[in-house]
Amino acid sequence: MQASDIMTTSVITVHADTEVKEIAGLLLKHKISAVPVVNDDMKVIGLVSEGDLMRRVENETDDRHAWWLADFFSTRDQTADYIKSHGRNAVDVMTRSVISVTEDTPLNEIASLLERHHIKRVPVTRDDKLVGIVSRANLLHGVATSGSKAVGASTTSDKELRERVMKELGKAISIDAPLVNATVENGAVQLWGIAYYQVNRKAAQAAAESTPGVKSVDNHIGLVPPWMGAE
């Protein structure tokens, strides 16, 4: 398997002038830990993670209290008020040296990059433009799908089938698309991620099952109460 077999293609991105308060809201809403910063050509120029935001808060808060670290979700209003008053943008907090991979990078190489650089995800690029992102969770999905064969190559038919499945998932559950992923091996589809409602989980199942060429669907999508993602 390669990056293209497991990557999330519905990537949440921001621009250099995106305000930090908006980035914090995106991380909460989509339950992600980082967002790539791109220019108008979709070239990755940086990455903003929870760690980047927390370091900014620690560096600029006079009393250096750890309210963000102590209970991030319960202090969203306080977080937003603080960041709003300081008016920071993505370019002020982003990590500029971003490690990325290409679509044909094998999973064992991605795993090595994550381990070696102590990072949680890597952007996937094609001709220097962002086309997806691979997180540690995506990597585990690939391993779970293929087991010991996870470092091998997928067939062209599996790659094409995954593209069709992902397209159908986007149509069926557009609101949750960034939270859902799929892996394919020998025509067997496995769905991963989270959804806010049972109807979204069922819609993902139906979308995969209705995609021509799919032999079976194993639905691993978990349910998360919608209030956990409310702003």
Ramachandran class of 127: left when φ > 0, alpha when ψ lies in -120 to 50, beta otherwise: left
pLDDT in tens, 166-210: 888 888 876 555 678 888 988 999 998 888 788 888 999 999 999
User: Any idea which fold 154-231 has?
Assistant: Histidine-containing Protein; Chain: A; (3.30.1340)
pLDDT for 67 equals 45
Give the integer Cα–Cα distance in Å for 28 and 5. Answer: 26
- Residue whose token pair is 């394919």: 184
Give the integer Cα–Cα distance in Å for 175 and 200. Answer: 9
pTM score: 0.65
pLDDT for 73 equals 45
The CATH 3.30.1340.30 domain(s) of the chain lie at 154-231
